[in-house]
Amino acid sequence: MRFGFPEPFGFQITNTGSVSGTLSYRMSVRSTNPASSLPIVSLNGLPPGQPALGAILVDPGQTRDLLVDVRYVFSQPFVPRELVLEVDPEGDGTYVQGGTIGLISSAVDPLCPDEFVDNFDAYPQGPVCGQGGWEEWIGSTDVCATVTSEQAFDGPNSLKIVGTPGGSTGLGDDVVQRFDLVGGRWVLRAQTYVPTDAQGRGWVVMLNSYPSPLNWSLDILLDADNGLVHDLFDAPSGVALVRGRWAPLLVDINIDNDLVNAFYDGQQFIFNKSWADGDSGGGQPRIQALDLYAGEPTDRGTTGMFFDAISLRLASPCPPADCNANGLPDDLEIFEGLAPDADGNGVPDECECLADINDDGVINSQDFFAFLTAFFTNAPAADFNHDTIINSQDFFDFLNAFFAGC
């Protein structure tokens, strides 16, 4: 499997004192299951198992984000782990635990194209409906959620849903993304943010039939009143709601086997539920809608919750890239230094046709002129041999590759 897209996770550090201070810290990944102690998680590009060390300056009254890039170098799907923050408050080399964040990897391979992905950063702030396929719930009006910069996971914007005030129709926000997916195993991922002072309930809803007839597979509640995340029909069981930071929601939908499992902040709370029978019963083996619903003002609608980095991607079948057929995924070889990747594009050099300068899959005069343009303008692409110097050797090396073909 490829896991070539790092994700930023982290903590917030607040200085409640009266003087500036530099806090030393280390972050590491801890297995919560003794049977899954294999070090397969890389932090900030370090070898798996090696902690990320650093120090951060925080002024009085200041809160700063402490972020780390988390990357699984190979797959161990749906096995929970924890990102652990330790700090040295006294500066004497003694570290104490400062917090944990749940981690979990899916079987998703980034080589499989996204069916849907949205981080809301390309939209103007305001109603999301009419952008990126988002629409109001069928038959409803004035229930559109809002693109906002109040909170954001990976860019300037996120999506906010509000249920308490209600619009002119007196209803809570209720926005839908339509699909029509049959067969396979799919993973829905979303980052969720519940403010520390939030009240009411927000919903992540998935339907196997929409808009006619309506048939619900999942009704996941982020319940700020009871401090729980749970399936509608499993209350009061569930996992603890996270407030004041982003927490990942992951839904594993196996249409072929009619199973769905769900994880929140690295903890599983839905176990092998039927997808087709779901919450309505008598449904179909399809995915037809994602619905973000803020609840009604008269029924504990949320005062405000946020969503970001939403994606739906095929998890299997999608073969890992292994250009030299040695049994190791290409990106793992690159990570371990076993396969050179001079241009840093995630594809081993041996897999590439190096003279295909414009990456259109063929070598022709367009590549020749593209290289000449780069060479005479001293552009980085002209450093053909990657020795950090652009000179006649690059020109001759390109000619050799050009006439050798692929």
Which letter, b or e, does each residue of 371-394 get, where b requires 16 or more Cβ atoms within 10 Å of its Cβ? beebbeeeeebbbbbeeeebeeeb
Is the pLDDT confidence value at 243 over 90?
yes
Q: pLDDT band for 237, please (50, 70, 90 cuts).
A: confident
Is the pLDDT confidence value at 343 over 80?
no
Q: pLDDT band for 161, please (50, 70, 90 cuts).
A: very high
Q: What is the pLDDT of residues 300-338, one digit of tens each?
A: 999 999 999 898 988 755 555 666 666 666 666 666 667
What's the confidence (pLDDT) of residue 6?
A: 42
Q: Which two tokens stand for residue 21?
A: 């201070």
Q: What is the pLDDT of residues 351-365, one digit of tens each?
A: 777 788 877 767 888
Q: Average pLDDT of the chain? A: 84
Is the pLDDT confidence value at 4 over 60?
no
What's the confidence (pLDDT) of residue 110?
A: 47
Against a cut of 0.75, is the pTM above it? no
Strand residue runs (E) in 105-173:
114-118, 126-127, 135-136, 146-148, 158-161
Is the pLDDT confidence value at 47 over 90?
no
What's the confidence (pLDDT) of residue 406?
A: 66
Weakest mean pLDDT among 79-88, 93-102, 232-241: 232-241
Q: What is the pLDDT of residues 283-305, one digit of tens each?
A: 999 999 999 999 999 999 999 99
The number of angstroms, rounded, from the C-alpha of 91 to the middle of its chain's C-alpha atoms is: 35
What's the confidence (pLDDT) of residue 364?
A: 81
Please choose, from the candidates 268, 198, 270, the residue with its C-alpha nearest in 3D space to the C-alpha of residue 233. 270
All domains of the chain in start order, with CATH = 7-103 (2.60.40.10), 114-316 (2.60.120.200), 330-404 (no CATH)
Which one-letter amino acid corresponds to residue 322? D
Segment 177-197 shows an average pLDDT of 92
> Other C-beta atoms within 10 Å of 342: how many?
14
Q: pLDDT band for 24, please (50, 70, 90 cuts).
A: very high
